[in-house]
Amino acid sequence: SDIYFRTAELGYWLSEEYWGRRIMSSVVEAFVTWAWSTFDILVRVNGLVAETNPGSARLLEKAGFVLEGRRQDAICKDGKVHAELMFGALRPS
């Protein structure tokens, strides 16, 4: 039988010179809205952020994502190991 994945993963990066302008907030909200309207099978969108990036975590929370877990030692940046936060958004009813 066929297997259908019902989850999408969202990733993003924005140059620091553009931070604080709500650019990525608008992009994430638009992407999630588009994903729900385009893919009927989709029930979940996941987003992963470094624990050292609270701005990105807040962005996901404001877009309706919920913190679902933390993975220890999942990311290495600039030679340092960090935890990764796992966020998820479920299709609205």
- Asked if the structure places residue 16 within a domain, the reply is yes
Checking if the pLDDT of 2 tops 80, the result is no
- Asked if the structure places residue 2 within a domain, the reply is no
- Asked if the structure places residue 76 within a domain, the reply is yes
First-to-last C-alpha distance (Å) of the chain:
28
What is the CB neighbour count within 10 angstroms for residue 62? 12
Give residue 17's domain range.
Answer: 7-90
The number of residues in the chain equals 93
- Asked if the structure places residue 1 within a domain, the reply is no
Q: In what order do the strands lie in the sheet with 80-90?
A: 7-10, 44-50, 80-90, 66-77
pTM, to two decimals: 0.89
CATH number at residue 85: 3.40.630.30
- Side chain identity at 85, as an amino acid letter? L
Number of folded domains that form the chain:
1
- Asked if the structure places residue 72 within a domain, the reply is yes
For residue range 29-67, what is the model confidence (pLDDT) as tens digits? 999 999 999 999 999 999 999 999 999 999 999 999 999
Give percent above pLDDT 90 in the chain: 91
